[in-house]
Amino acid sequence: MTIREIAAKTNMSTDTLRYYERIGLLPPVPRNAAGIRNYDEYFVNFINFIKKLKASGMSLEHIIDYIRLAEMGDATIQERKKLLAEARETLLDKINSLQLVAELADYQLRNYENLLQPETYALLNRHPASKALAI
């Protein structure tokens, strides 16, 4: 199948697929006599596997490492699990950061009239190019 066909089948852009091949995330794709990529079901499965790892929080660099480790066999299982654990920790850190941001947004909403509204007016009224805001 062509790159457009596999892009549609995997819900990926053709640019992303080319990029994945260029950085070595995807194995080299066979080409026909005209030089057009010729994907098969193996690549559909491989791309879906990459998407699964990416959805678990792994970076592309770590996915490349994971695949290379997997190619080395069962002796690398613990290293692969470590990559997954690191991705999980990164996700938990992001969740914690987002929770703090959400709490700040809640605080600002609850106290808008006493905090942000006066600060907004003060800042805008001090700028020479601003027109005075009516309160």
Question: For residue 132, is pLDDT > 60?
Answer: no
Question: Band of the pLDDT at 126, cuts 50, 70, 90?
Answer: confident
E strand or H helix at 61: helix 60-71
Nearest-CA neighbor of 25 among 57, 78, 71, 56? 71
Question: Band of the pLDDT at 63, cuts 50, 70, 90?
Answer: very high
Nearest-CA neighbor of 11 among 38, 41, 44? 44
pLDDT, mean of residues 24-44: 94
Question: For residue 133, is pLDDT > 80?
Answer: no
Q: Is residue 5 a contact partner of residue 39, using CB atoms and an 8 Å limit?
A: yes
pLDDT, mean of residues 60-87: 96
Portion of the chain with pLDDT greater than 90, in percent: 83
Q: Which top CATH class is 1-123? A: mainly alpha
Give the per-residue pLDDT at 10.
Answer: 96
Question: For residue 87, is pLDDT > 70?
Answer: yes
What pTM, to 2 d.p., does this model score?
0.74
